[in-house]
Amino acid sequence: KNISGDITNINIKVPAGATVTWETGAAHGSTPLIPEDSAVKTVTISGGGTFKATGDGVGPIRAANEGGKLVFKDVTIVDESQSYAENSWEFGYLEFGGDIEMINADVQNAIMISGENASFTGCTFNSNKQNEYAVWVDNGTASFTGCEFTGSRGLKIHEAYGSDVTSVTVDNSTFGPLSVKPGVAIGDVDGTTAITIKNSTFKGTQPGDQSNYMYESDTAVNSFTFTEVNNTVLK
């Protein structure tokens, strides 16, 4: 009774106090939520409850079919998967891929965005481990509007293992308090990457490598498209 829609658009209602579980696989391309040959175009999970990831923690949560999209709205996202390298900082992230949209989601564990397109509106992110960022954008395009980052580390933008970050936009969001890093940490990106930080507030963040509290960058900001406008830093 909590599943509605038609063959192409499925709505899953998870009411407050209830949990829906998805088991991730042990291989990187395994266990997509929408399979490659599926006729389903959109799966929307909403309703105030919890979406819990279990399993081996390697297969990204994604729509693998052409034109497929996953939407998480008004839900809490919890990672209880166990990666084969759980104690390694880069394998501790719950990975999302494909076309993802989150609206008013409370993400309680570190997540990685591995493309192709991800949008977040009114979401909260908490980096609850000292060595993990709340969100790591590794590939594709991502936007954050009206979001909040707290805990140890905020947003990381870093290309790894041949990935390619196209663009990341942060708008009207808040960072802090953060106990370890400034709001945004930029690692390795190339000249095709565009990063925009605007209309956002940084309060209780750390100075970082360049001592500006808003961001730090391992890549010279004049080597890619970098835009910073109308932000507020409260030390």
Number of Cβ within a 10 Å radius of residue 15: 10
Read off the pTM.
0.95
The pLDDT of residue 202 is: 98
Summarize pLDDT for 49-95 with one digit per residue, the tens.
999 999 988 899 999 999 999 999 999 999 999 865 555 555 678 99
Q: What is the DSSP string of 128-182?
A: -STT--SEEEEEEEEEEES-EEEES--EEE---TT--EEEEEEES-EEEEESSS-
pLDDT of the residue at 235:
85
Q: What is the dihedral of CA 129, 18, 99, 155, to 10 degrees?
A: -20
Q: Indicate the SS3 state at residue 121.
A: strand
Quick: pLDDT tens for 157-202: 999 888 999 999 999 999 999 999 999 999 999 999 999 999 999 9
- Cα of first residue to Cα of last residue in the chain, in angstroms, is 50
- Residue 26: what pLDDT? 87
The partner residues of 12 in beta bridges, in order of sequence, read 3, 45
Report the DSSP pairing between strands 9-13 and 3-5. antiparallel
- 173 Cβ contact list (under 8 Å, min separation 6): 144, 145, 146, 147, 148, 149, 200, 201
Q: What is the mean pLDDT of residues 149-156?
A: 97
Q: What is the pLDDT of residue 50?
A: 98
